[in-house]
Amino acid sequence: MTDQYLQAIQKRVCSRCIDTDEKGNCMLHYDEICAVEEFLPEIVQAIQRVQSDKVEDYVVELRNLVCTQCKHQDEDGICVVRNNLDCGLDRYFPLIIEAIESVDASRRSA
Ligand code: SF4
Ligand code: SF4
């Protein structure tokens, strides 16, 4: 199941990400891991907890389940990576929600 989520994210999100090379490969893999890959199970869990048309509702769960575990967020809840728009997970979160929910919707209709 995780593979399906990852594939959906790669198709919808990574294909548009500014951190890919000209062939569409993620450039972060060489020296660091994108939070999308590092926390995929937690991201899926956060999104599945919410049913809302407001992205802010999903962001609350993302901060609770993922950002609190991430080394980049400090004890005051501040993330310099996020503030610099350098977190692919945060930057493309609306697309990531769409990707996860599309996998779940196609599973329900199968
Ligand atoms: S940085 Fe993250 S969102 Fe961007 S291509 Fe790499 S894995 Fe995908
Ligand atoms: S926004 Fe910051 S704390 Fe949250 S996953 Fe991205 S880098 Fe980590």
Query: 56-109: per-residue pLDDT in tens?
Result: 999 999 999 999 999 999 999 999 999 999 999 999 999 999 999 999 999 898
Q: If you measure from the C-alpha of residue 110 to the centroid of ligand 2, how many angstroms do you get, rounded to a whole number? A: 34
30: helix, coil or strand? Answer: helix
Predicted confidence band at 44 (pLDDT cuts at 50, 70, 90)?
A: very high
Residues with C-beta less than 6 Å from any ligand 2 atom: 35, 66-67, 70, 72-73, 79, 81-82, 87, 89-90
Predicted confidence band at 22 (pLDDT cuts at 50, 70, 90)?
A: confident
User: Which residue puts its alpha carbon closest to atom 6 of ligand 1?
Assistant: 26
- Rounded mean pLDDT of the chain? 93
Q: If you measure from the C-alpha of residue 16 to the centroid of ligand 2, how many angstroms do you get, rounded to a whole number? A: 19
List the structure tokens of 63: 């901060």
**Is pTM beyond 0.85 here?**
yes
Residue 26 burial class via C-beta count within 10 angstroms: exposed 0-12, middle 13-18, buried 19 and up: middle
List the structure tokens of 64: 């609770």
Closest CA to 2 of 31, 51, 41, 55: 41
Residue with tokens 């599309």: 102
Q: If you measure from the C-alpha of residue 107 to the centroid of ligand 2, how many angstroms do you get, rounded to a whole number? A: 29
26: helix, coil or strand? Answer: strand
Q: How far is the C-alpha of 54 from the C-alpha of 37, rounded, in Å?
A: 24
List the structure tokens of 9: 């994210």
